[in-house]
Amino acid sequence: MTSALQTLRSTLKVELRLLSPVVGLFTALPVVGVFACGLLFGSVQAVAMTIGANLIAIVSLIGAPRVSLRLVVIDAVLMAVSVFVGSATMATLWLHVPLLIIWCFGAGLLVGFGIPQGIVGTQAVIAFVVLGRFAEQPHRAVELGLAVLLGSVVEIGGLLLLRLPPSLRHQRQQIARGLDAVADQATRTPHQSVADVVQTLDRAEGELRAPSLYGRSDVRDLRSLLDQVRRIRLQLTALSGLRARLEQPGTTSERAGLEEVLMAAHDVLAELAEMVRRSAKSPELVGSLQVFEVSLDQLASLEIALPAEQQLLLHQCIANLRSLGGQLRAARALVNRMNEGSDLQGAFDLRRRRRLTIGREASSRLFAARPWSNPQVVRHALRLAVAVPLSLLIASWLSMPRPYWVPFAVVTILKPDYGSLLRRGVGRVVGTLVGASLAALLITTLHPNETLTVALAALVAWAAYTTWQANFAVGIGFVTALILIVLSTSLRDSTGTAFDRALDVAVGGSIALLSYLLWPPPPRAGVDVTLAALFEALARYVRSVGDLVTSADPPPSIVGDRARSTRLAWAAADGAVGRVTLEPKVSASVVVLDRGLLAAALRIIRASHALRLDAERGVRAVANEGLTQLIEALEAELSQVARNLRGTPPGCQTSELRAAFQVASASLNEAGAPSSIALHLDELVNAVNTAGFLLNPPEPSEA
C-alpha cells in the first residue's frame, strides 16, 4: 500500500522542464495529416492509418531524440502483419487464440532485448487484438494491414523530413542535465547514492550514439565534453570515499573548508550547464573558478593538527581537488570552443559501409542478450501468453461492449517486475480516466463535424506528444483522448465509448496485477547474477588499477574500458536490487544483504578510482612481491565473491587478505612509496573483506 501511494504521488508530478512543444508539433503533424487524408477513404481506414501513425510516434518518443530507423520499419511491418493475421483468423477462434498466444509469448521475449524492442512487441499484440478484431475476408484483411502500414510509413517519413536539419538542442539539454547532476553530486554527503547521476550521463551518452549523427564535428565536441564530465564525476566519486573516511571527531574545520570548496565546484558546474543550454559564453564563470581556487587555497593553508592518518586523508582530498580544478578549466575551454560554432550541419553524413558495420554490431548485441535464457523474461512471456488471451475470452464471455480493450490494457500494463507494473499501471489507469473524460466532454459539448474533429485531433495530439516525457499519465491521457476523438468519426455513442474505455482499462489492469501476483518472480530474480557480474567487473578493474600503480602501464584503453564495464555492471546491479525491494513478498533480510553488497562494491569502486587517479598523476610504486601478491589476492577474493553469488562454495578467507595487506604495506614503507597508496589499499581490503563477510559470516562461538 505504501508503494502504491508513493507511485500515485509520483504519477501526478509533471516535470515542466521536460515539456517539448516543438518535438510535439513535429510528431503530431504526420499523425493529423494521415487522419485527415484517411477520412477521404472512409472512417475505418482513417482509424487504422491514424492508429498506425500514432504507435510509430510513441516509439519515436520513447527512443528520443533519434530512434533507430530499422527498428521503426520493423515495427511498422510487424503491426501490418499482425493486423492481417488477426483479421484473417478472427472468424476461426481455434486458430486465432493459439496465434495470439504465440504473438504474446514473442512480445514477452522481446522485453529482454531492451525497452524499444519490448515496445515493438507490445504494439504488435495491440495491432493483433485491437485492429485485428474484425473477421474479414483475406483481401479485406490485406487492405486493413496496408492501411496501418501506410499510416506508419507516413509518420516515419514525416519525422525524417521534419527533424532536418537537427540543431542538437535536445542533445545539449541532456549534456546540461548531466552537468547539473554532477554539480548536485558535488554537494551530496559521501553516503548518498549517485546512481541517478550515472543514469543521467548514460542517457546523454546514448543520445550521442545515433548513427545519423556520425561524422559531425559538433557532435564530437559534445562527446569530448561528456568525457570530461565523466572524468569530473570519477574525481568526485573518489573524493566521496576520502570524505567518508575523514568524518572523525576533531576534523570540523577541515570538513567545513572541504564543503566550501565543493560548493564552489557545484557553482562552476551549474554555470557550465547553463552555458551549454544557452549556447553562449559566460564571463561570470571566470569568477566562479576563482572562488573555487581561493577556497581550495584556504583549505590547504589550514593549521593542521590531526592524527597522521586523518592528515594524510586531507592531503589526498586537496590533491584530488586540485585535479578537479584542472578538469573544470578544461571543461570551460571545451564549452567555449563548442559555443563558437553553429550546430546546424548536415544530419545524414553516413557512409553505407559504416551503416552496415553498425547494423552488424547491433545484431551481435541483440543476439548476445539471449532473453530466452533469462528466467525472469521467460516468466513474463508466459504470463503474457496466458493473461492476454484469457482476458479476451473473459471480456467476450461477459459481453463487454468492446472486449478488445481489456487485453489491450493487459499487454500495456503487465511488466516483468512489480515496480514497473505498479508505476505504469497506475499511470495508465489514471491517464485513461482523465483522457476518456476529456474526450467525452469535448465531443458531447462541441458535436464536431469532420473539420472540427481534425482540428481537435491536432490539438490533442500535439498536447500528448509535448507532455510525453514530462509525465507518463498526462501523455497517456491525451493519447486516450486522441484515439477516442478519432473513433468518434465511426461511432455514435462517444460518451459510452469513453466510459467503456475507462472500465476496460480498469478491468485489464486488475487482470495484469492479479496475473503477476499469482505467479511472481523468485524473491531475488536476477539479483545474484547482476551482483556476480559486478564483482567480476570489479576484480578485473582492481587488477588493471593495480598494474597501473606498479608501473606495469596497461594501455589506457584497458583501464578505461574496465572502469566503464564496472560502471555499467554497478548500474545493472543497483537497478536489479531496486526492483526487488519493491516486490510485495521480499524479506527485509534479503534487502539488507543486497544493499550491503552494493555498499561494499561502492567502497571498492571509490578506492580503486582514488588509486587510479593518483597513479595517473604519477603517484606509483615499484612492483615488489608483497604488493603483487596483494593485488592478486584482491582479484581472487573478488572473483570468489562472484562465484559465491553464483552458488559455489566459499574460498579465500578475509584473514588471509588482511595478512597480505600487512606484508604489502611493510614492503611499500621499505621502498619509500607514497603513503597514499597504502591508505587506499587499506580501504580496498576493508571493503572486500566486508563483501566476503556479508556472504559468509563467521559461525558464532559457543562462548
Exposure class string for 375-384: b at 16+ Cβ within 10 A, else e = ebbbbbbbbb
What span, in angstroms and rounded, lies between the C-alpha atoms of 250 and 310? 10
Residue 352's pLDDT is: 36
In the chain, which residues have pLDDT < 70? Answer: 1-12, 17, 63-67, 135, 162-168, 209-220, 247-253, 280-286, 302-309, 339-373, 491-495, 523-525, 552-556, 582, 584-590, 648-655, 697-703
What span, in angstroms and rounded, lies between the C-alpha atoms of 369 and 382? 18
Reported as a single tens digit per residue, the pLDDT across 429-456 is 888 888 888 988 888 888 888 899 999 9
Cα Dmax for the chain: 90
Q: What radius of gyration, in Å, describes the C-alpha atoms of the chain? A: 29
Cβ proximity of 223 and 208 under 8 Å:
yes
Residue 234's pLDDT is: 84
Instruction: Give CA 654 to chain center in angstroms.
Output: 36
Instruction: Give CA 59 to chain center in angstroms.
Output: 16
CB-count exposure of residue 549 (10 Å: 0-12, 13-18, 19+) = buried
Note the pTM of the prediction, 2 decimals: 0.65
Q: Which of 19, 23, 49 is nearest to 155 (CA)?
A: 49
Please state the φ and ψ torsions of residue 251, each to the nearest 5 degrees. -115, 25
Cβ proximity of 89 and 138 under 8 Å:
no
Instruction: Give CA 151 to chain center in angstroms.
Output: 30
What span, in angstroms and rounded, lies between the C-alpha atoms of 569 and 642? 12
Cα 52 to Cα 26, 155, 320, distances in angstroms = 17, 8, 54
Q: Which of 472, 467, 463, 598 is nearest to 530 (CA)?
A: 598
What span, in angstroms and rounded, lies between the C-alpha atoms of 113 and 366? 6
Residue 353's pLDDT is: 35
Residue 322's pLDDT is: 84
Reported as a single tens digit per residue, the pLDDT across 466-495 is 998 888 889 999 999 999 898 888 766 666
Cβ proximity of 418 and 582 under 8 Å:
yes
Cα dihedral 553→555→557→560 (10° resolution): -20
List Cβ neighbours of 58 (8 Å cut-off, separation of 6 or more).
119, 123, 468, 479
Residue 517's pLDDT is: 85
Task: List the domains of the chain with CATH numbers.
Answer: 2-165+376-518 (no CATH), 169-340 (1.20.58), 527-695 (1.20.58)
Decide: helix, strand or coil at residue 153.
helix
